[in-house]
């Protein structure tokens, strides 16, 4: 192994805690770390991630073909691992997520939706018979599926989808059609040239009546030749900001017939004579989307961890400026402004990880309750998964971009892996529900919760603070502690929701319809949802961190508590305007918070490299010239530069073709 950069080594030597202990804590125990390392070792030993020519220099078509090749090799390897170990879903989740998967398929995986949407939808919405027929075939990769909901003309507004599935009782078939150009499915990953089956969300018509959106399994391509089946119009949507290996496609239907039992009928049914049998609840179809949103929060943690690892290591290696004339140039991580940009990113990973774990637990509990016919907590889970999806993706996009900027010009290089990471993260702000719409969905729940509290009803746990805070109109004295800040954030959320409800009621009294009043209040409603989510994040991080640090060594406990304090104080300073408006915080309190924050930056600074090392992201997964473990940033930048095809020859042909004639006046 190459010699480690001296500055980086010194950072590690002066770390105050055991880095391996923190890695085990993050992973959930020694055994989980060992399993992860074994999985990584096996995947990377196969060399699937290696590229003779960096894929950034390939054509669009070549990028896709390489992505398919890698994806096939990857899942072949995972299948072998599953057979050897009889393991659960962990292996699949790891290769589909933001670490191992992104290391091998850096610009998107054309098979992701097969595992993340196609199979889970059949599991969640298919009958026992449908599951028995389809899931085995899908898991063995006898067929490859995707999930088509979004259309050219409609995305988040699912009720507006135009694709139709009309039941023909004489043949016991559904006939699918795209009545307009805007009805074409648009965006599904793997749809263009990879999948041969698809779950299609379409408006169901039977006996002349529309019954809304339902899920249908449609064959897209012949299993042997892969040619599109009759009536299917399918292709690729073109180059995008990122994820160009994902093979996003468009899909149109021209009288495509499918058997009746290709409608997923666990909830709603269409009988042979065309009679429609309603689902016990329209909310039962939420499952797949919520599963994906829960997974997304976890994924964002992985991408943030990558970005801060790259930026913190590079900041320890990079030396710049000379504030003191007689001293050497300092490491840029010694500048407080750099610490301000990066250290909250480390804390964010832990904050979102704890909220993701909490959400995952709630998701599993609510899913079990649903199977038992209990839907009481479903709206709460839906509201929470919507706002956490929005806030986690937005924070992750800002975190990755802040890390890129913190690396100066070199962060702009694709070889830093920060631009590509940004492309993957910012895509998540609009897929699986556009973020503003997600916040407004949560707002609907919060308005109802406020009204329930006003009627004296008991509220579910995540909104119980509304009942407590509605009663006391006067602000209690400001408490400048971590607990006080968390309480302050609940007061902000409660105050904002209360104002929204009052605004809507006032506008209705002035003659506005409820819909118009809602729209006029929607900027404030989105802000109230964000405040609710922020209060939840801070509260869970504070409470769960308190519980979890009890099991670690005293040295590590101090650092983890500092990190939690840093995160909460940082957000208090980010939301000073809200705190001034809704709490009794004073100018003196704010000054103390600022000093406290700066003091925390200085305390966390000596352990910054140790904290990112503990994420334990291998160089092959990080894939960054700036962030490698050995800190040889400059050497690696030059090595990557030499891989450019333009450096293969000293004189490019364009000189003789264009430049020379121009310079000699003969062009």
pLDDT digits over 518-527, tens only? 999 999 999 9
Tell me whether residue 125 is in a domain. no
pLDDT at position 295, please?
A: 84
Given a cut of 70, whether residue 417 has pLDDT beyond it is yes
Looking at the fold, whether 335 and 453 belong to one and the same domain comes out as yes
Tell me whether residue 621 is in a domain. yes
Q: Which domain CATH number covers 504? A: 1.20.140.10
Given a cut of 70, whether residue 361 has pLDDT beyond it is yes
Q: How confident is the model at residue 102 (pLDDT cuts 50, 70, 90)?
A: confident
Element (H, E) at 250: strand 249-253
Pairing of strands 173-177, 249-253: unpaired
Given a cut of 90, whether residue 377 has pLDDT beyond it is no
pLDDT at position 369, please?
A: 84
- Torsion angle defined by CA atoms of residues 604, 607, 612 and 616, in that order, rounded to the nearest 10 degrees: -140
Q: How confident is the model at residue 371 (pLDDT cuts 50, 70, 90)?
A: confident
653 exposure class (CB count in 10 Å sphere: 0-12, 13-18, 19+)? exposed
Looking at the fold, whether 350 and 444 belong to one and the same domain comes out as yes
CA distance 438 to 428: 12
Final residue before a domain boundary, out of 253, 280, 307:
280
SS3 content of the chain, % helix, strand, coil (to 5): 60, 10, 30
Looking at the fold, whether 584 and 600 belong to one and the same domain comes out as yes
Structure tokens at 84: 């050897």
Report the candidate in 124, 226, 238 with the shortest Cα–Cα distance to residue 187.
Answer: 238
Tell me whether residue 403 is in a domain. yes
Of 109-123, 288-302, 484-498, minimum mean pLDDT range: 288-302
Q: How confident is the model at residue 474 (pLDDT cuts 50, 70, 90)?
A: low
> Which residue would you say has higher pLDDT here, 327 or 346?
346
Looking at the fold, whether 190 and 332 belong to one and the same domain comes out as no
Q: How confident is the model at residue 616 (pLDDT cuts 50, 70, 90)?
A: very high
Of 239-253, 280-294, 479-493, 639-653, minimum mean pLDDT range: 280-294
Given a cut of 80, whether residue 328 has pLDDT beyond it is yes
Report the candidate in 400, 389, 416, 387 with the shortest Cα–Cα distance to residue 317.
Answer: 416
CA distance 146 to 302: 24
CA distance 447 to 503: 11
Looking at the fold, whether 607 and 493 belong to one and the same domain comes out as yes
Of all residues in the chain, what percent carry a pLDDT higher than 90? 77
Of 106-110, 403-407, 523-527, minimum mean pLDDT range: 106-110
Tell me whether residue 60 is in a domain. no
CA torsion sign, 358 to 361 to 363 to 369? Answer: negative
Q: Which residue is listed with tokens 């030499």?
A: 642
Final residue before a domain boundary, out of 263, 280, 297:
280
CA distance 610 to 19: 6
Distance separating the N- and C-terminal Cα atoms of the chain: 52
Distance from the Cα of residue 343 to its chain's centroid: 21
Given a cut of 90, whether residue 658 has pLDDT beyond it is yes
Tell me whether residue 606 is in a domain. yes
Structure tokens at 94: 């790891």
Of 179-193, 255-269, 286-300, 608-622, minimum mean pLDDT range: 286-300
Q: Which domain CATH number covers 167? A: 2.40.110.10
> Helix 336-371 to helix 554-574 angle, to the nearest 10 degrees?
100
pLDDT at position 44, please?
A: 86
Tell me whether residue 77 is in a domain. no
CA distance 512 to 503: 11
Element (H, E) at 236: strand 232-236
**Is residue 432 annotated as a catalytic residue, yes or no?**
yes
Q: Are 586 and 478 in contact (CB under 8 A)?
A: yes
User: For 438-464, how does the pLDDT look when each residue is reduced to its tens digit (9 = 90+)?
Assistant: 999 999 999 999 999 999 899 999 999
Q: Which residue is listed with tokens 């994806």?
A: 71
Of 85-94, 195-204, 301-310, 324-333, minimum mean pLDDT range: 85-94
Q: How confident is the model at residue 471 (pLDDT cuts 50, 70, 90)?
A: low
What SS3 state is found at 209?
strand
Given a cut of 80, whether residue 58 has pLDDT beyond it is yes
Looking at the fold, whether 306 and 428 belong to one and the same domain comes out as yes
pLDDT at position 285, please?
A: 60
Pairing of strands 197-206, 256-259: unpaired
Looking at the fold, whether 505 and 487 belong to one and the same domain comes out as yes
What SS3 state is found at 178?
coil
Average pLDDT, the chain: 92
Give me the catalytic one of 11, 162, 380, 432: 432
Given a cut of 70, whether residue 185 has pLDDT beyond it is yes
Given a cut of 80, whether residue 660 has pLDDT beyond it is yes
Mean pLDDT of 399-409: 98
Tell me whether residue 579 is in a domain. yes
Looking at the fold, whether 416 and 528 belong to one and the same domain comes out as yes
Q: What is the CB neighbour count within 10 angstroms for residue 90?
A: 15
Looking at the fold, whether 508 and 413 belong to one and the same domain comes out as yes
CA distance 576 to 569: 11
CA distances from 278 to 145, 164, 208, 221, 240 (A): 27, 18, 16, 31, 40
Final residue before a domain boundary, out of 230, 253, 280:
280
Q: What is the pTM of this model?
A: 0.91
Q: How confident is the model at residue 411 (pLDDT cuts 50, 70, 90)?
A: very high
Q: Angle at CA 649, nearest 5°, toward 643 and 653?
A: 120
Q: How confident is the model at residue 156 (pLDDT cuts 50, 70, 90)?
A: confident
User: For 312-325, how does the pLDDT look when each residue is reduced to its tens digit (9 = 90+)?
Assistant: 999 999 999 888 88
Q: Are 333 and 289 in contact (CB under 8 A)?
A: no
CA distance 481 to 257: 64
662 exposure class (CB count in 10 Å sphere: 0-12, 13-18, 19+)? exposed
Q: Which residue is listed with tokens 């364009």?
A: 654
439 exposure class (CB count in 10 Å sphere: 0-12, 13-18, 19+)? buried
Please give the residue range of the domain that contains residue 424: 288-631
Tell me whether residue 363 is in a domain. yes
Q: Which residue is listed with tokens 């503990």?
A: 614
Q: How confident is the model at residue 473 (pLDDT cuts 50, 70, 90)?
A: low
pLDDT at position 432, please?
A: 83
Mean pLDDT of 33-60: 87
CA distance 268 to 262: 13
Mean pLDDT of 111-119: 90
User: For 250-295, how does the pLDDT look when each residue is reduced to its tens digit (9 = 90+)?
Assistant: 999 999 999 999 999 998 999 999 999 987 766 656 666 777 788 8
Specify the number of domains making up the chain.
Answer: 2
Looking at the fold, whether 426 and 562 belong to one and the same domain comes out as yes
Mean pLDDT of 358-367: 89
Looking at the fold, whether 294 and 253 belong to one and the same domain comes out as no
Of 85-94, 209-218, 560-569, 582-591, minimum mean pLDDT range: 85-94
Looking at the fold, whether 219 and 300 belong to one and the same domain comes out as no
CB contact burial 447-483 (16+ within 10 A = b; e otherwise): bebbebbeeeeebbebbebbbebeeeeeeeebbbebe
């Amino acid at each position: 192994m190459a010699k480690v950069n001296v500055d980086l080594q010194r950072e590690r030597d002066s770390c105050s805690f055991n880095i391996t202990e923190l890695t085990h804590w993050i992973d959930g125990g020694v055994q989980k770390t060992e399993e992860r390392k074994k999985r990584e070792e096996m995947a990377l030993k196969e060399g699937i991630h290696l590229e003779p020519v960096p894929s950034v220099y390939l054509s669009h078509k070549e990028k896709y073909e390489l992505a398919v090749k890698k994806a096939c090799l990857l899942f072949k390897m995972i299948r072998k691992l599953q057979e050897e170990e009889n393991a659960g879903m962990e292996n699949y989740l790891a290769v589909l997520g933001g670490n191992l998967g992104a290391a091998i398929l850096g610009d998107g995986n054309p098979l992701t939706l097969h595992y993340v949407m196609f199979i889970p939808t059949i599991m969640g919405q298919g009958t026992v018979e449908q599951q028995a027929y389809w899931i085995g075939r899908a898991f063995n990769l006898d067929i490859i599926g995707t999930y088509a909901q979004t259309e050219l003309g409609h995305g988040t507004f699912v009720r507006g989808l135009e694709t139709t599935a009309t039941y023909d009782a004489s043949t016991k078939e559904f006939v699918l059609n795209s009545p307009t150009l805007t009805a074409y499915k648009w965006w599904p990953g793997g749809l263009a040239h990879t999948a041969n089956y698809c779950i299609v969300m379409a408006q169901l018509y039977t006996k002349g009546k529309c019954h809304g959106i339902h899920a249908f399994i449609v064959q897209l391509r012949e299993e042997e030749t892969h040619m599109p089946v009759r009536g299917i119009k399918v292709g690729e949507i073109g180059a995008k900001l990122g994820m160009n290996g994902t093979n996003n496609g468009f899909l149109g239907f021209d009288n495509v017939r499918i058997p009746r039992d290709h409608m997923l009928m666990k909830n709603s049914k269409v009988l042979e004579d065309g009679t429609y049998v309603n689902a016990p609840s329209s909310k039962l179809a939420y499952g797949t989307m919520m599963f994906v949103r829960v997974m997304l929060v976890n994924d964002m943690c992985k991408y943030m961890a990558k970005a801060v690892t790259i930026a913190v290591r590079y900041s320890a290696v990079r030396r710049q400026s000379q504030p003191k004339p007689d001293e050497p140039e300092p490491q840029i991580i010694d500048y407080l402004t750099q610490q301000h940009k990066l250290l909250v990113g480390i804390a964010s990973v832990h904050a979102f990880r704890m909220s993701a774990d909490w959400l995952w637990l709630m998701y599993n509990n609510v899913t079990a309750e649903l199977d038992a016919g209990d839907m009481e907590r479903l709206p709460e889970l839906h509201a929470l998964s919507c706002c956490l999806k929005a806030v986690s993706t937005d924070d992750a996009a800002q975190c990755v971009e802040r890390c890129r900027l913190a690396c100066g010009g070199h962060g702009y290089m694709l070889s830093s892996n920060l631009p590509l990471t940004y492309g993957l993260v910012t895509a998540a702000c609009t897929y699986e529900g556009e973020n503003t719409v997600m916040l407004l969905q949560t707002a609907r729940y919060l308005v109802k919760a406020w009204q329930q509290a006003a009627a004296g009803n008991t509220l579910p746990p995540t909104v119980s603070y509304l009942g407590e805070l509605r009663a006391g109109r006067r602000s209690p004295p400001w408490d400048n502690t971590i607990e006080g800040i968390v309480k302050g954030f609940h007061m902000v959320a409660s105050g904002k929701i209360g104002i929204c409800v009052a605004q809507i009621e006032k506008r209705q009294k002035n003659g506005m319809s409820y819909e118009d009043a809602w729209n006029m209040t929607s900027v404030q409603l989105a802000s109230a949802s964000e405040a609710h989510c922020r209060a939840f994040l801070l509260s869970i991080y504070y409470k769960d961190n308190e519980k979890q640090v009890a099991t670690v060594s005293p040295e590590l406990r101090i650092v983890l508590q500092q990190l939690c304090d840093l995160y909460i104080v940082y957000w208090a300073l980010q939301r000073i305007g809200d705190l001034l408006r809704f709490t009794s915080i004073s100018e003196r309190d704010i000054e103390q918070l600022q000093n406290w924050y700066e003091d925390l930056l200085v305390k966390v600074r000596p352990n910054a490299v140790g904290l990112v090392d503990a994420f334990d992201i291998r160089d092959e997964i990080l894939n960054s010239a700036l962030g490698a473990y050995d800190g040889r940033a400059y050497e690696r930048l030059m090595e990557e530069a030499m891989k450019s095809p333009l450096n293969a020859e000293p004189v490019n042909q364009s000189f003789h073709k264009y430049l020379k004639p121009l310079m000699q006046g003969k062009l």
